[in-house]
């Protein structure tokens, strides 16, 4: 029988995942390689790291249906699209703006979850999301006065956010039938294939990079992917897709602080005020989720 609660408190893996993904934009900025090459090797190294830890699980591949293979392929494609667009956005806009815009993910997940899974958000959750949206719009309004390049980067981040929201909704459906390990392994493999084909078609060099670039590729696989995305994929078995998405709202905090420390990208007033609204929306949403969980637990114990 499938468990409905994780073996540890959900807050622990969620905090680890949030800290790990905060390093993604920093590592991308440190690399001079094309983002499609970064993404390709990030996925390749991630798959290589995963394989030794789940060889027994590979037997279950034979039981995956054709429909689920198609969904896995789609999940890999949208994850590749997310990485390609969002990583590219960091070339044009600030780390703070790019990651704050990425926080719009819960909005798209909420809309998709309503139509796909019939998940109806509470009024408090909706209010929290609208507060977060207002904060992100405030950040965007500040970037309008900076440059057309910054706005272009913001748009790329927004499109990448839509892509990762679709990926998460697909994952939520597949994880009802496929283990989180197999889902991650296969989806990441498809993502790698998408990047490899992209690089081949556009004739983007995939070899002869200096040693420091290979180190960054490896760190992208270990830190934000293994300790970030894989943890979130695993948690999708136990919590709502919108809950995972809302925790990602914390990424701009860590990423912006690291950006200030390492790249001297000072946070603007628009980013600061908008970020505060985003955090407020997150706290309101999480509180509503905790209330729902407590009510369910109380009803279950009383019955």
In terms of phi and psi (left: phi > 0; alpha: psi -120 to 50; beta: otherwise), the region of 57 is alpha
| DSSP 8-state assignment for residue 177 | T
pTM over 0.75, yes/no: yes
The reported pLDDT for the residue numbered 3 is: 47
Mean pLDDT (the chain) is 84
Give dist(CA 216, CA 214) in Å, integer: 5
Q: What is the dihedral of CA 60, 65, 67, 68, to 10 degrees?
A: -10
Does residue 254 have a pLDDT over 90?
A: no
The reported pLDDT for the residue numbered 2 is: 44
- Whole-angstrom distance between the N-terminal and C-terminal Cα of the chain? 20
Q: What are the structure tokens assigned to 80, written together? A: 């590749």
The reported pLDDT for the residue numbered 238 is: 79
Tell me the pLDDT tens digit for each residue of 83-100: 999 999 999 988 888 888
User: If we measure between CA atoms, which residue out of 206, 285, 214 comes closest to residue 244?
Assistant: 285
Q: What is the average pLDDT across 31-60?
A: 93
């Amino acid at each position: 029988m499938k468990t409905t609660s994780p073996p540890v408190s959900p807050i622990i893996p969620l905090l680890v995942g949030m800290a790990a993904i905060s390093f993604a934009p920093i590592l991308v900025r440190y690399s001079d390689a094309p983002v499609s090459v970064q993404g390709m090797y990030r996925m390749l190294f991630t798959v290589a790291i995963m394989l030794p830890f789940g060889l027994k699980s590979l037997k279950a591949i034979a039981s995956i249906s054709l429909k689920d293979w198609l969904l896995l392929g789609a999940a890999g494609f949208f994850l590749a699209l997310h990485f390609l667009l969002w990583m590219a956005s960091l070339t044009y806009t600030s780390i703070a703006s790019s990651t704050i815009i990425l926080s719009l993910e819960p909005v798209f997940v909420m809309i998709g979850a309503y139509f796909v899974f019939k998940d109806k958000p509470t009024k408090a959750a909706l209010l929290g999301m609208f507060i977060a949206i207002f904060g992100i719009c405030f950040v965007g309004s500040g970037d309008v006065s900076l440059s057309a390049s910054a706005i272009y980067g913001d748009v790329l981040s927004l499109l990448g956010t839509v892509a990762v929201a679709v990926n998460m909704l697909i994952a939520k459906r597949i994880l009802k039938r496929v283990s989180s390990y197999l889902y991650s392994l296969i989806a990441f493999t498809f993502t790698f294939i998408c990047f490899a084909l992209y690089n081949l078609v556009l004739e983007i060099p995939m070899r002869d990079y200096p040693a420091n670039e290979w180190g960054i590729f490896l760190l992208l696989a270990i830190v934000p992917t293994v300790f970030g995305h894989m943890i979130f994929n695993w948690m999708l078995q136990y919590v709502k897709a919108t809950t995972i998405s809302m925790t990602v709202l914390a990424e701009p905090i860590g990423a912006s602080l690291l950006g200030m420390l390492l790249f001297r990208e000072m946070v603007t007033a628009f980013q600061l005020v908008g970020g505060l609204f985003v955090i407020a929306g997150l706290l309101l949403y999480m509180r509503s989720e905790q209330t729902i969980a407590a009510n369910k637990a109380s009803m279950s114990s009383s019955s």
